[in-house]
Amino acid sequence: MIRVGPIPRLRRVLPHRWGRAGLVALLVLVLEWSRALVAMQPGLTVGALILGGVALAAVAAGWPAERLGLGTSRFGIRLLGGLALGAVLLLPAAVRAGAAPLLPAGLAVAAVAVSIGEELAFRGALYAALEDAGGARLAIVGTTLLWTLAHALSHPAEFLPAVAAAGLLLALWRWACKDLVAPILGHVIADLAL
């Protein structure tokens, strides 16, 4: 029996894990940018958001639910966490804006699709791939950076710090609670309400 020490094992496994993480990162980024560019075309906004959401969700296909943070244990607490995250995400706007206009009803389905797709892609598959490659710290920082970069085409530069802060909050939740249900629910609530 050949014994493999930690360093040779790391060398053997690392390229594969880094390659997978890089591939997932590239795929997610390309999908988000494509979605943003198509959504800018007249009449294509809703379709681009829905199809983009589905395509992003497909990135998570093949990952075990537990690795994505989609376990069903303590489901009530996960749901409650989602409501709490939704409240946190909306609170600054609610305090300052008061009567901020709501998302038109026609975009609601698109909002749900893209919220779920983004969470499955970023805090789900990408987080898991980066965690496999370099640990939780890389997963948190990496998903936050890519999340921000992915929104660079669809958002003005002055919005990106808030986008990054939201991404960091959701990634930290994913790490701290090993849960993706709450980020999905919080993200859906935030997108629907704004």
Partner 1 sequence: MKKLALLAVAVIGYSIAAWAVAPGFYDGFGPPQAYNFTCPPPQAGANNKPTSGHLDIKVIDGVSDANSAFTDDGQLVIGFLPGAFEAGARTTVSVDIRPLDTCPQPPGIRLVTNVYLVTANALLKPDKRANLVLRYSNLEPDPATVYQASDPAGPWTAMRSQPGQPFTIETTTTTFGYFAAGYSSSSPAPGAVTVGGGQLLPIVVAVLIVIVVLAGLPLAIMRRRSSSEKDS
Residues found near partner 1 in the complex (CB under 8 A): 35-36, 39-42, 45, 49, 76-77, 80, 83-84, 86-107, 111, 114-115, 118, 151, 154-156, 158-159, 161-166, 168-169, 172-173, 175-176, 187, 189-191, 193-194
Say how far apart CA 114 and CA 129 lie, in whole Å.
21
How near is the Cβ of 3 to partner 1 at its closest, in Å? 36
How near is the Cβ of 185 to partner 1 at its closest, in Å? 10
Nearer to partner 1, 58 or 84 (CB): 84
Nearer to partner 1, 64 or 76 (CB): 76
Nearer to partner 1, 18 or 164 (CB): 164
Nearer to partner 1, 67 or 151 (CB): 151
Nearer to partner 1, 6 or 101 (CB): 101
How near is the Cβ of 32 to partner 1 at its closest, in Å? 9
What per-residue string of b and e applies to 38-48 under the rule 16 or more CB within 10 Å gives b?
Answer: ebeeeeeebeb
How near is the Cβ of 31 to partner 1 at its closest, in Å? 13
Nearest to 163, CA basis, from 180, 144, 179: 144
Say how far apart CA 57 and CA 121 lie, in whole Å.
6
How near is the Cβ of 7 to partner 1 at its closest, in Å? 29
Say how far apart CA 128 and CA 86 lie, in whole Å.
23
- The CA-to-CA distance between both ends of the chain, in Å, stands at 60
Q: What are the Cα distances from residue 157, in Å, to 46, 113, 139? A: 23, 25, 24
